[in-house]
A and B are shown apart, each in its own frame.
Chain A
Amino acid sequence: MEAAGLIQIGLQVLPLVTTGVTEFIAWLEALRTNLRQSGEWTAEQDADFTAKLAAKENDPRYQQDPPPPAA
């Protein structure tokens, strides 16, 4: 499974990380949690995930660059 490989790579490159250290660790942690999943999500978890995706539509990280000013 590629997530397990990614965790190994992530742990190896962790000392070299210079940008977004906290986010990088959060990303690694998310991969680890992901691998521990043993069953299907419940209906509530599905609803939470859908709501989370909807909320991200206004997240600045997901917005395109503004168009360049007209010359």
Chain B
Amino acid sequence: MKNFKLSRLLTSLSGAITGIAFGWLIASCILTGCATLDPNADPFVVRTEQVQKQADATFDFLLGVDNADRGFWRTNAPALHNFCEYLRTPIAVSPTHNSPRILAIERNVQDLKVQYKANRSAGNSNLLYQISSELSLLVLQGNSWSNIVSTTTH
């Protein structure tokens, strides 16, 4: 009788342990946003750098998916292809040099951020805020497309 109770207890415990382990695994994937900010770090700079990294990953992925079969996306998802072409449109970054729009924006954010880090004035922060907000909006749109194009629709 005692053994029977013990085995039942162990069975339920093993289920609980499996559940906890699985929960821990999922939590480790999801709860990564808890990194404590270094007290010497400027939150504005860290936030801008996070947007930059996110933009880097998002547009590499999105433009890569579109580039894998441009004809297919042009025909079957013209809005996505047009968005990618909008990001790729060359714009003048200097009198002698053109750059794809998204790279020009990313480069602009990077240059302004480096400038702000060297001289943390309100004027510099306003400029950086303006351009990083623009990049952030493009990232949001890019993320929406990333989720749409990478999942099945049937």
Contact = CB atoms under 8 A, between A and B. Distances in A.
A63 B57 contact: no
Nearest to A47: B114
Given A27-B57, A39-B40, A2 B140 contact: yes
Given A40-B45, A62-B103, 14 more contacts: A7-B30, A11-B30, A13-B150, A18-B150, A19-B68, A27-B60, A27-B61, A32-B29, A32-B32, A33-B53, A35-B33, A39-B46, A40-B49, A49-B110
B1 interface: no
Size bracket, chain A contacts: 35 or more
B64 A23 contact: yes
B33 A3 contact: yes
Interface string A4-23: 10111111010011111001
B33 A62 contact: no
Nearest to B151: A16
Interface in B90-112: 90, 99-100, 102-103, 106-107, 110
Contacts of A16: 151-152
User: Would you call the interface of chain B mostly helix, strand, loop, or mixed?
Assistant: helix
Nearest to B49: A41
Contacts of A40: 38, 41-42, 45-46, 49, 117
22 contacts: A6-B143, A9-B147, A17-B150, A19-B68, A20-B150, A26-B57, A27-B60, A34-B53, A35-B32, A35-B33, A39-B41, A40-B38, A46-B113, A50-B110, A52-B56, A53-B103, A54-B107, A57-B103, A61-B64, A62-B87, A64-B88, A65-B74
A55 to B, nearest CB: 10
